[in-house]
């Protein structure tokens, strides 16, 4: 819907449900059980696997194991952001999963695009 006007990017952050952490049975049933990565290389591999498994149509990057991006943006377990062309945060969604509301992001995108047209 906005792909011709907005650059979308997924950022893979800390694993929410690793085998050596908060385990959920659904991950095991789905064959998605992974250990929490201890190196940037391991996290990059998991990010790549995630992008493939989810069949993402957008680029994915990953936060390093120091979790600097997640710490700066409060992105755990998931969160939607809109960064304006001038680099300011134009929208910050609520913490997921209950605050993960793509329709709110859509309205924020519309407002931002309208402001560019003025």
Predicted pLDDT at 21:
66
pLDDT tens per residue, range 51-106 = 998 899 999 999 999 999 999 998 777 899 999 999 999 999 998 888 899 999 99
Can you tell me the distance from the alpha carbon of 45 to that of 22, in angstroms, rounded to the nearest whole number?
20
pTM of full prediction above 0.75: yes
> CB burial class (10 A; 0-12, 13-18, 19+) of residue 43?
buried
pLDDT at 16: 74
Calpha distance 52→114 (Å, rounded)? 34
* Of the candidates 88, 86, 87, 80, the residue with the CA atom closest to the CA atom of residue 107: 80
Q: Is the pLDDT of residue 29 over 80?
A: no
pLDDT grade for 19, boundaries at 50, 70 and 90:
low
Coil, helix or strand at residue 84:
coil
The average pLDDT across 24-36 equals 74
Average pLDDT, the chain: 88
């Amino acid at each position: 819907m906005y792909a011709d006007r907005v650059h979308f990017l997924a950022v893979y952050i800390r694993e929410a449900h690793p085998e050596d952490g908060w385990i959920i049975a659904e991950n095991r049933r789905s064959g998605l059980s992974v250990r929490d990565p201890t190196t940037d290389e391991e996290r990059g591999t998991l990010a790549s696997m995630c992008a493939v498994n989810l069949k993402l149509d957008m680029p994915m990057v990953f936060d390093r194991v120091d979790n600097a991006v997640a710490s700066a943006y409060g992105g755990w377990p998931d969160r939607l952001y809109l960064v304006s062309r001038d680099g300011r945060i134009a929208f910050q969604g609520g913490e997921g999963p209950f605050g993960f509301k793509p329709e709110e992001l859509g309205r924020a995108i519309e407002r931002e695009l309208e402001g560019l047209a003025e």
